[in-house]
Amino acid sequence: MIGSGASDAYLWIAIVLITLSALLTRAGLLLWGTGLKFRPVVQSALRYAPACALAAILVPDLLFVDQHLVLTPENPRLIAGLVSCLIFAFFRSMIGSLIGGMAVYWVVSYAFLG
């Protein structure tokens, strides 16, 4: 029980506004339809957005261990990430890069972390 009717109204207004903001920011362009056209330069830039987002998530996890920058072979995630990138660059195999990266991670982490 929240309390007074005014508190309930504020709570419901907050829930509705948060829901609308999430809906508009996540699905706004899809809901807009085909009427929204971007210039070609914007369209070409948006093609790189997923790769940039993925890099922004992965790179800090590969480079930092316990909030410290570790660029040595004692960082098994960095070594495994580099090997995974090399496997993908040479063979263009996503499954191969995942399997190879995980295998290198296990070997390096066992060798250095015992």
Contact 46, 29 (CB under 8 A): no
pTM: 0.61
* Rg, C-alpha atoms of the chain: 23
Residue with token string 């914007």: 42
Tell which wins on pLDDT, 101 or 114. 101
Cα separation of 56 and 66, whole Å? 18
**Among residues 101, 49, 59, 43, which one has the least CA distance to residue 76?**
101
Assess whether pLDDT exceeds 90 at residue 2.
no
- Which pLDDT tens digit goes with each residue over 66-88? 899 999 888 999 999 999 999 99
Assess whether pLDDT exceeds 70 at residue 114.
no
